[in-house]
Amino acid sequence: MAAFVALLGLADGIYLTVEHLTGRTAECIASSGCQDVLSSKYAAMGPVPLAALGAVAYFTAFSAALLAAFGSTKAENFLILVVSVMFVTTLWLLYLQAYVLHAFCDYCLFSAGVTTALAALVITNALLRERRAPSN
Amino acid sequence: MRRYLPFFLIAAVFVLAVGLGLVLFHYRAQPPPKAVVYGRPGAEPAHVRGNLQAPVQLEEFGDFECLPCSQTWPVLEKLEHDYGNRLVVLFRQHPLKKHRYALEAARAAEAAGLQGKFWEMHDTLYRNRDTWVSADYVRPYLNGYATDLGLDVDRFKADMDGAEVTRRIAADQERGESLSIDRTPVLFINGKLIASTARDEKSLRAVIDKALGSRRP
Give yes or no for residue B30 having a pLDDT over 70.
Answer: no
Cα distance between residue B10 and residue B18, in whole Å: 12
- Residues B13, B18, B19, B24, Cα dihedral to 10°: 120
Which class for B197: exposed (0-12), middle (13-18), buried (19 or more C-beta within 10 A)? Answer: middle
Q: At A129, which amino acid appears? A: R
Closest Cα partner for A47 from B202, B192, B26? B202
Give yes or no for residue A48 having a pLDDT over 90.
Answer: no
- The answer to whether the CB atoms of B6 and A7 lie below 8 A apart is no
How do residues B102-115 score in pLDDT, each as one tens digit?
A: 999 999 999 999 99
Query: Taking a C-beta distance cutoff of 8 angstroms, is the pair B145, B109 a contact?
Result: no
How do residues B60-95 score in pLDDT, each as one tens digit?
A: 999 999 888 998 999 999 999 998 888 999 999 999
DSSP letters spanning B149-173 = TT--HHHHHHHHTSHHHHHHHHHHH
Residue B25 has, within 13 A of its CA and on its CB side, a CA count of 11
Which class for A35: exposed (0-12), middle (13-18), buried (19 or more C-beta within 10 A)? Answer: buried
- Return the residue in B1, B25, B100, B197 with the most chain A beta carbons within 10 A, the one to mutate for interface testing: B197
Closest Cα partner for A22 from B124, B67, B139, B24? B24
Report chain A residues whose CB lies below 8 A from the CB of B21: 14, 17-18
Size of interface A-B (CB pairs under 8 A): 70
- Return the residue in B2, B5, B10 with the most chain A beta carbons within 10 A, the one to mutate for interface testing: B10
Report the DSSP beta bridge partners of residue B59: B90, B188
Report chain B residues whose CB lies below 8 A from the CB of A41: 71
- The answer to whether the CB atoms of B68 and A59 lie below 8 A apart is no
A88: helix, strand or coil: helix
Please give the pLDDT value at position B215. 46
Report the DSSP beta bridge partners of residue A48: A45
Cα distance between residue A134 and residue A94, in whole Å: 40
Question: So what's the ipTM on this one?
Answer: 0.80
Closest Cα partner for A121 from A83, A81, A77, A75? A83
Cα distance between residue B124 and residue B149, in whole Å: 9
Q: Is the pTM of this model over 0.95?
A: no
> Residues B150-177: what's their mean pLDDT?
94
Provide the H-helix boundaries in B2-138: 5-28, 67-83, 102-113, 118-127, 129-133
Give yes or no for residue B137 having a pLDDT over 80.
Answer: yes
Cβ neighbors of B143 (< 8 A, separation 6 or more) are: B153, B156, B157
Cα distance between residue B124 and residue B73, in whole Å: 11
Please give the pLDDT value at position B214. 47
B192: helix, strand or coil: strand
